[in-house]
Structures are given as structure tokens and as C-alpha cells.
Amino acid sequence: MTIDLPTKIVPVIIIDNPETAKPLGEILLEENLPVAEVTLRTPAALQSLEIMAGLEGLTVGAGTAITKEQAEAAYHAGSKFIVSPALHCEVIEYCQRADVPVIPGIATPSEIAQAMRYGLNLLKFFPAEALGGASALKAITSVYPEIGIMPTGGITPANVGEYLSLPCVRACGGSWMVPRDLLQQERFDEIRALVREAATLSSAT
């Protein structure tokens, strides 16, 4: 099962305090960036994911899923898609059994080949900038025209356009519009401005 992401930019979010999940979700909806990848890296992640998944119109997925148990918990919390940093086979196999879209990470052509054996056609190129950026992604995917990519890792407003102009790129992931420290400090006005800018970049392509 695959997913049509509603936006070209997917906020990758680390939440430390579940009380910030609802106001953040409302900002994403109000500023027209109605998607969130909540990373399973904090004790607050699952509860936050569940709160955000309860907001109508917001497509919420889980990120950093590296075990089957994490994927299962995220699915039951309302996750509409599951993202992994690598080809975690048990996560892929669980998601395919549960019929929830899974977007695993790849970094090489060999890993694309492995993902294709699962019938997957949307993959995360991670960590995108450290792997050589848009030019590396263009070269790697030139031989796999049927594969869609969501690059993530080091993407900013300054380089997102390079990725979005590639035919393989369905959406770009990034944390720049919801910086962890701003969310911890509940600086929602600053987050709103960053989200608004990201939404403008997302709809410009």
C-alpha cells in the first residue's frame, strides 16, 4: 500500500511535551501544511502522535520506526504512514501485513533493489545532504524511474527546491520548520512563521 502525501514538504517533528501536540497540529492545519511525521524518539511521541491524529484534516505518520513493536504502536495510535531511517525488514513486513503505507530509508542502489523486492515504490533517501544531496539522488534514481523518493536529512528552505525539481521526488522531509528547541519553549509564533514559509515553498512546486 502506498500513500499520496498531501503536501510536497513533510514536517519531521520531535515532540518532548505532549501538551504542545495539539497547538502544533492546529498551526499545521491553519497554515496549510496539513501533514506531520512524528518521530518515535521521545517518551512523548506516541501520545503526541495520537493527539495530532485526532485533528481532522491532518495526515499524521510516525518516523524513526525501527522495530515492529514501534510500528504496531504507531499504527494503533492513528499513524497513517510509517517512516524508517533504513530498510528495517520487520517494520516493512509488519506494515505490509497491517496494510499501512511504509516509507523505509535507502542510501544506495542496492538498497533500492532490496526495497523493490517488497514491491515498495516510495522510499526515503536519508541522510540526503550527507549522501551528496540532490545531484547524488538524481544519479542514483536515474535508473529507477518508477521509484518515488522522499529525501530527508539536511534539507532547508535554501536547498529544498533542488530536490523538488527532481522527477523522482514526491515530497521532502525536514525538521527546519518545527525546531525542537522552539517547540520545547512553546514559541508558537516563530514556528507558525516557519510553517507558513514551508507551506509556500510546498505549494510553489
Grid cell in block for residue 105: 530509508
In the complex with ligand 3PG, the residue whose CB is nearer, 97 or 130, is 130
Q: Are 66 and 84 in contact (CB under 8 A)?
A: yes
| Least gap, CB of 106 to ligand 3PG (angstroms) | 13
What residues from 73 to 112 belong to the interface with ligand 3PG (CB under 6 A)?
none
The stretches of the chain forming alpha helices (DSSP H) are: 21-30, 45-53, 68-76, 89-98, 109-117, 133-141, 160-164, 180-184, 188-203
Whether the Cβ atoms of residue 180 and residue 42 lie closer than 8 Å to each other: no
Counting Cα atoms < 13 Å in the Cβ hemisphere of 159 gives 16
For ligand 3PG, the closer CB: 133 or 173: 173
Cell of 70: 514501534
Give the interface size with ligand 3PG as a residue count (CB under 6 A). Answer: 13
- CB nearer to ligand 3PG: pick between 142 and 190: 190
- What is the spatial distance between Cα 137 and Cα 173, in angstroms, rounded to a whole number? 14
The reply on whether position 154 binds ligand 3PG by CB under 6 A is yes
> At its nearest, how many Å lie between ligand 3PG and the CB of residue 56?
26
Report the distance separating Cα 12 and Cα 160, nearest Å: 14
Which one of 173, 191, 199, 201 is in contact with ligand 3PG (CB under 6 A)? 173
Min. distance of Cβ 4 from ligand 3PG in angstroms? Answer: 20
C-alpha cell at 138: 538524481
24-63 mask for ligand 3PG (x: CB under 6 A)? ---------------x-----------------------x
Q: Applying CB under 6 A, which residues contact ligand 3PG?
A: 12, 39, 63-64, 126, 152-155, 173-176
Which amino acids are annotated catalytic?
A: 37, 124
